Amino acid sequence: MNGIKIRGTGRCVPEKAVTNDDLARIVDTNDEWITTRTGIRTRRHCTVETHTDLCVKAARDALERAGVRPDEIGACIVATVSPDTLVPSAACRLQAALGLPKDILCFDLNAACTGFLFALHTMECLLNSSPRKYGLVVGAEALSRLIDWEDRSTCILFGDGAGAAVVECREGWPAAPAVLGCRGDDALLRVAGPGTGEPPLIRMDGTKVFKFAVETVPQCMDQVLQKAGLTVDDVDFFVFHQANARIIDLAVRKYRIPPEKYYKNIADYGNTSAASIPLVLSELQEQGKVAPGSRVLVVGFGGGLTWGGMLIEFA
């Protein structure tokens, strides 16, 4: 199977910033408590913006940076748990807004915070059977719609945003080393769907999810490195799902990753689920911290339970 590389990235976040002090007016919490336990100082919440608005802006920026026209896209996947509508999908809405070809696959993918990685691997498979060799992968969330404002343990965590990547599939490129997994569990992290009688709000056992993440992140890293035949020193940059700064710090210490080879933006955006990883990738590319040929090890984990690691390159 031919592999994919990232050609261009883009992002979009809502205008409204919600600080820890803002949340302290709603629930019993404070800035110091939130910052020391999560690393989050602010997050963005949609007001006038829709989920589709975020997707469109991020995707357009990624197409422009990649130098790829909409009619060259061979498939479109939006990783999300919070679209504007279940039908039509966020990907179909994006297709209409961008004028993507009508003879391509456009669909949403729900793997929670690991969604962008699942979508990248799926896109690699799709482009191998497509005459068009560029794919559009978006991670986007409007999680503020799913927040229980009476639950101080979860309402402080989540934000809205979107990140997008245009990827290219070319003959002769090796398949991107990936490790993906799932373990069905609706007790640790759950959002109820229609007909359940439950409100569609985020329910999470934070302590157990933290433990799951701390165990899963190094396992994913080890397996991806082994699959790629590389060591930590061979990787140019490490991108972790931005769920909790302490989870990232533990991984950094364990693998002795130098400061110039990893990045955190959780202080500014909070946990944006499927948008988390592409938001980081977009900022890295814009700041020139990754460039053509850069090898980036990406790790995600989330509800499902799901997890994944992937070694991706920039074209």
Q: What is the pLDDT of residues 94-115, one digit of tens each?
A: 999 999 999 999 999 999 999 9
Using DSSP's 3-state secondary structure scheme, residue 242 falls into: coil
Q: How far apart are CA 119 and CA 274, in angstroms?
A: 10
Q: Which two tokens stand for residue 62?
A: 């990624």
At residue 1, does pLDDT exceed 90?
Answer: no
Indicate the residue type of 14. Answer: P
Write down the pLDDT at residue 209: 95
At residue 286, does pLDDT exceed 90?
Answer: yes
Q: Which two tokens stand for residue 137?
A: 């992968």
User: What residues are annotated to the active site?
Assistant: 113, 241, 271
Give the strand order in the sheet containing 73-79: 4-12, 160-169, 134-142, 73-79, 105-109
Mean pLDDT, residues 3-25: 98
Strand partners, 42: 19
Between the alpha carbon of residue 56 and those of residues 15, 93, 127, 175, 278, the distances in Å are: 15, 9, 21, 28, 14
Does this model's pTM top 0.95? My answer is yes
Mean pLDDT, residues 111-122: 98
